[in-house]
């Protein structure tokens, strides 16, 4: 009797159970499809913006990372996940000298991201990979905070152009003019890339008038200081072209009328007035 009751109950519940099972299966499949993710590896470029020194910013020099941070960075260092898996690797370092022992630094990194098909977002350590996003990396126990400036695939090559810039560095001491020599180069020690090189130089007596004031006599004079010089230079620069304009060392726009800051191992030229720009060729780095 009890067996017959069980068979009866089972026969009556089976359609209901089947319906519930089908509904649950459809929901699970739908959720899995909607939440489907995949692991990807891609290359991004960041500009180091700092942690406790983010106010160290200049319109002409960008964020300026201290030397003690940069000297810890080298190609090939990685960030590991808690389970020991490589999730980020430093591919390239590009930096430009600035004032006071600081540098403006760009890093190319290969990172492991999670792509969500439902949201269309690419995620790294909880952060959406997008231009302008700030992401923290821990590369070989060196903490880096960087702002994403470019997102590319692994085989991406950044196009560079070489230009010849003519300019004048006005009213400088003769002692400084003597230190400016043809052949001076600004080089990235990481990969030997030459950012800038002086290829021609001419020095003239400065024509700028110097202001002198004599309060005791109530006299103001503007006269020529014969110890000062104007330096006319030709400089070969490696630049990138964005928005139809040339950019040097990250964020200096290279065009006639602008001032250009050049930093060499033995001398700095902070305010060279650009008078002409001509393109040489196109290269890839």
* In-domain check, residue 33: no
Residue 13 within a domain: no
> pTM of the entire structure?
0.65
Domain count, the chain: 2
**86 found inside a domain:** yes
Question: Does 128 lie in the same domain as 228?
Answer: no
Say if residue 138 is in the same domain as residue 209: no
pLDDT the model gives residue 29: 55
- For residue 15, being part of any structural domain is answered with no
In a domain, 211, yes or no: yes
Using one digit for the tens of pLDDT, what is the confidence trace for 3-24? 555 555 555 556 666 666 677 7
Which of 152, 176, 197 is the last residue in one of the domains? 152
Q: Can you give the three-state secondary structure of the chain, one letter per residue?
A: CHHHHHHHHHHHHHHHHHHHHHHHHHHHHHHHHHCCEEEEEEEEEEEECCCCCCCCEECCCEECEEHHHHCCCCCCCEEECCCCCEEEEEEEEEEEECHHHEEEEEEEEEEEEEEECCCCCEEECCEECCCCCEEEEEECCEEEEEEEEEEECCCCCCEEEEEEEEEEEEEEEHHHHHHCCCCCEEECCCCCCEEEEEEEEEEEECCCEEEEEECCCCEEEEEECCCEEEEEEEEEEEEEEECCEEEECCCEEECCCCEEEEECCCCEEEEEEEEEEEEEEEEEC
Distance CA(120)–CA(224), nearest Å, equals 66
Same domain (yes/no): 170, 241:
yes
Residue 29 falls within a domain, yes or no? no
Would the pLDDT of 53 be above 60? no
Which of 152, 168, 200 is where one domain is finished?
152
> Do 166 and 51 sit in the same domain of this protein?
no
Tell me, yes or no, whether 186 and 269 share the same domain: yes
Q: Specify if 2 maps to a domain.
A: no
Binning pLDDT at 50, 70 and 90, where does residue 259 land? very high
Q: Does residue 169 fall inside a structural domain?
A: yes
Residues 163 and 55 reside in one and the same domain: no
Tell me, yes or no, whether 183 and 115 share the same domain.
Answer: no
Q: Is the same domain home to 145 and 246?
A: no
pLDDT in tens, 28-46: 555 545 555 567 888 899 8
Domain match, 187 and 209 both: yes
Give yes or no for a contact between 216 and 229, defined as CB atoms under 8 angstroms apart: no
Do 165 and 272 belong to one domain? Answer: yes
Per the listing, tokens 């902070």 go with 270
Question: Which residue among 119, 152, 185 closes a domain?
Answer: 152
Please give the residue range of the domain that contains residue 60: 38-152
pLDDT (average), residues 207-227: 66
Same domain membership, residue 144 and residue 67: yes
The percentage of residues in the chain with a pLDDT greater than 70, rounded to a whole number, is: 70
């Amino acid at each position: 009797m009890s067996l017959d009751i069980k068979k009866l109950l089972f026969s009556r519940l089976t359609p209901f159970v089947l319906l519930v099972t089908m509904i649950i299966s459809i929901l699970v499949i739908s959720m899995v499809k909607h939440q489907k993710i995949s692991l990807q590896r891609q290359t991004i470029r960041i500009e180091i913006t700092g942690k406790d020194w983010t106010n160290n910013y200049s319109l002409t020099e960008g964020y300026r990372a201290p030397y003690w941070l940069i000297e810890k960075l080298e190609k090939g260092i990685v960030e590991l996940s808690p389970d020991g898996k490589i999730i980020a690797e430093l591919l390239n370092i590009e930096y430009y000298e600035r004032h006071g022992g600081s540098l403006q630094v760009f890093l190319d990194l290969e990172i492991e991201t999670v792509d969500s098909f439902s949201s269309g977002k690419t995620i790294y350590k909880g952060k959406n990979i997008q231009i302008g996003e700030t992401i923290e990396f821990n590369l070989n126990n060196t903490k880096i905070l960087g702002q994403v400036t470019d997102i590319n695939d692994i085989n991406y090559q950044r196009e560079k152009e070489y230009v010849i810039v003519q300019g004048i560095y006005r009213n400088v001491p003769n002692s400084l003019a003597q230190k400016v020599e043809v052949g001076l180069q600004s080089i990235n020690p990481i990969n030997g890339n030459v950012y800038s090189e002086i290829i021609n130089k001419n020095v003239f007596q400065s024509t700028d008038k110097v202001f002198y004031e004599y309060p005791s006599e109530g006299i103001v004079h503007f006269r020529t200081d014969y110890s000062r010089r104007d330096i006319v230079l030709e400089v070969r620069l490696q630049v990138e072209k964005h928005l139809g304009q040339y950019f040097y060392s990250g964020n200096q726009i290279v065009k006639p009328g602008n001032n250009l800051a050049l930093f060499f191992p033995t001398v700095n030229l902070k305010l060279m007035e650009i008078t002409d720009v001509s393109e040489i060729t196109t290269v890839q780095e």
